[in-house]
Chain A
Amino acid sequence: MSVELFGTSFNPWVDAAIRLQLVVGFMTVVVMGLIYAERKILARFHQRVGPQKTGPRGLLQSVADAVKLVGKEDLRPAAADPWTFELAPYFVFIPIFLGFVIVPWVQGWNVRLLELGILYFVAISSISIVGWVMAGWGSDNRYAIIGALRAAAQGISYELPLVLALLSAAMLAGSLQLDKIVEFQSAVPLIVWQPLGFFIFFVAALAELNRTPFDIPVGESEIVGGPFVEYSGIRWSMFFLAEYAGMLIMAFVGSSVFLGGYSWPFGEDFGLPFQMLLAAGKGGLFIFLIFWVRASVPRLRIDQLMGYSWKILLPFSFLQILINGFVLVYGLPHIILLITGVLSLGLLFWVTEGIVQRPLEPRRRRARPTIVQEAEVS
């Protein structure tokens, strides 16, 4: 048994190793580009210039950062648990990069198209939460412990809506294999039939990635970086790299499942270069949305975060699955999916208004201060 790669036959294991190596190597470079892009884009939102001194237009900023980080001393607090502390970055870093296995970049370009691709992705990416908890626990720092516990609670809560949203898309496509889902969307992307599912996926993805408004475990203004507060140098940069790699993979999975990946529109007719453009464009759009959200919304509080997941996102993702089930079992036209999807999305926004409040607290919305007219001055 052998597999064809670059016109040569390989043992399947060797082949998979080479492919994964290529993807990881390439993605590391892309991630560095992503860091530069985030700095530039956020700078635009802030009306700043962003990096500009390192290389032309600051293009080499990520390289300079990497060199600086590698050169830094790898500090470990005296009271830290050595094994937990030192191993934690790997537990965050490796699962996220293993997630790249199932992504269908363009037609025929992939590491392995697993039949249970979505299941594999969800399972492997949730391992990184273990790394967060290890980092927090091993650092012997109270901010880190609080951050780690927050990360665990948040990761577990948002895993469920994420899985269910992906599952509801897979129901329609009839497969958990990502390239089949992508090819299913060659006519109409799934976001049209699953607007609610896409919204839930996007929100849960933000939470999974610990991005604003769900950056509670990191909470730079409260717990000063959470689990990473004691890390420095190369270990810290591994966390950093993993964060952006996670964003990248989430963007590609999201665009494959909901936006039609490389296949919509006309991806299969125009060949590889056009498909690359589509994949990169959709992934980029997804990532830009994440940056945009980061620049404009405040952070939620932990109880609001949990409440939002369990009280709103989870029931609504069940609702989406229920609707899909009805449509599929009774063979109803797909337009019903669109209508119910939009309606239930509206319902979700409406319910959100009421529920993301502290329990047992009277609801006080837009209680604007009143203006007292100037009193008579004697």
Chain B
Amino acid sequence: MVEVLSQTSDRSAEFETQDLLLNVGPQHPSTHGVFRMVMTVDGEVVRDVIPYIGYLHRGAEKLCETMDFRQGIGFMDRTEYLAAFNAELSYVMAVEALADLEVPERAQWIRMILSELNRLSSHFMFLGAFGVDTGVFGTPFIYAWREREALIDLFEEVSGDRMMYAYFRPGGVAWDVPVNFVDRVKEVLISSAQGIDDFDSLLSENEIFLARTQGVGSISAERAIALGMSGPSLRASGVDMDIRRDEPYLKYDQVEWDVITGEHGDVFDRYYCRVLEMRESIKIISQCLDRLAPGPILPEKMPRMLRTPPGEVYLRTEAPRGEYGVYMVSKGGNRPYRCKVRSSCLSNLQALHELTVGEYVADAIIILGSIDIVLSEVDR
């Protein structure tokens, strides 16, 4: 009798299952690059996540120290290859602050138009990749690609390159935009607006998409701030913070636009904040186009080799993924003594553990997608 009892008690121990260690990445279709996370899963539920980063570390910050200010722009392009204009912007603005350069009006408007266009193209990339993460076979990806292609064609016409533009220079821009620039931007804006509508009807109103994304991976405003999140991922939690409005740079204080915030901080809000933000970007760009007047694009007295007085500066801008800051120290001369990039992706990635634990494996994938990381910016 006793043996029988002990057997039953043993059996309850027998049913205790072992957690499974699941390695996702670095080669995995949903890690958006070379990101690795080791998940401990209990059946379908994630119990623990350990992210591993650094597969794409190229030492861009250190390399900047060996190059002069003009050459450093190229490294900034490569840290944030989906929104290179925004990355360049932070860098050149930091250099300008150090060297005390005055940027001409026209150059500022051009910079603003291109940064916002790049925000559009970057968010399109997010929408496409996120759609694939949720499991639609290719359709959102190709739709996003179609719109992004138009934008990138425009960037190529302006800067000569499709990805690594190196077009913003300390003091202004490298050369003036093509003569038909305004018409081309207007064309692209029309097609982009159409593309956003497509996404609204393809994903935002889809019942399965809503069931998958709403209430998943929520994070409170307090925790989001504590973890140092920024950009749309932060605003989705209801934090009303946008550097473009709070610390206006370029000409953001001269155009009419709204800051988009979410309510629940879940995956859907992070997704939909970006969609609405794209509509705001279109608003901003069309206002900029009206204000774009002929004029110089570089200061009058631009030295051939830019040298800065000693000093240090931290300059941040609102990149598509959040706060992209550049901390630069100069000890005089033509190259920075230290150039540190504050990456929004790295900070946003801190929230991954908190967001993912307790969710399903399938949700872990879309949560990672909803943070919208660019691995080259995380690792630099």
Contacts and interface: CB of A to CB of B under 8 A. Distances in A.
Interface of A: 42, 45-48, 142-143, 145-146, 212-213, 215-216, 219-224, 294-304, 352-353, 356-358, 361-362, 364-375, 377
Given A300-B208, A377-B245, A368 B272 contact: yes
A304 B208 CA distance: 10
B28 A303 contact: no
Contacts of B21: 142
A286 B242 CA distance: 50
Contact of B259 (A212, A303, A361, A374): A374
B217 to A, nearest CB: 12
Contacts of B134: 221, 298-299
Contact of A299 (B20, B135, B245, B253): B135
Interface stretch (B68-76, B223-231, B306-314, B358-366): B358-366
Contacts of A220: 29, 135
Contact of B248 (A45, A299, A377): A377
A222 B211 contact: no
A297 B208 CA distance: 7
B36 interface: no
23 contacts: A146-B20, A146-B361, A221-B132, A222-B30, A222-B361, A224-B29, A295-B136, A297-B206, A299-B208, A299-B212, A299-B362, A302-B44, A302-B360, A303-B44, A304-B211, A357-B215, A362-B215, A364-B264, A369-B236, A369-B269, A370-B263, A371-B276, A373-B258
A253 to B, nearest CB: 24
Given A42-B137, A297-B206, A358 B215 contact: yes
Interface string B121-151: 0000000000111111111001100100000
B202 interface: yes
A212 B248 CA distance: 46
B206 A301 contact: no
Contacts of A45: 139
Nearest to B360: A301
B142 A294 contact: no
B245 A374 contact: yes
A375 B360 contact: no
Contacts of A357: 211, 215
B214 interface: yes
Contacts of B41: 146
Contact of A221 (B22, B133, B139): B133
B138 A365 contact: no
A224 to B, nearest CB: 6
A296 B133 contact: no
B215 A298 contact: no
A378 to B, nearest CB: 10
B44 to A, nearest CB: 5
Given A222-B362, A224-B28, A372-B258, A142 B139 contact: no
Contacts of B20: 142, 145-146
Nearest to A368: B272
A224 B31 CA distance: 12
B136 A374 contact: no
Nearest to B276: A369
A215 B215 contact: no
B245 A47 contact: no
A335 B131 CA distance: 43
Interface string B258-270: 1111111010110
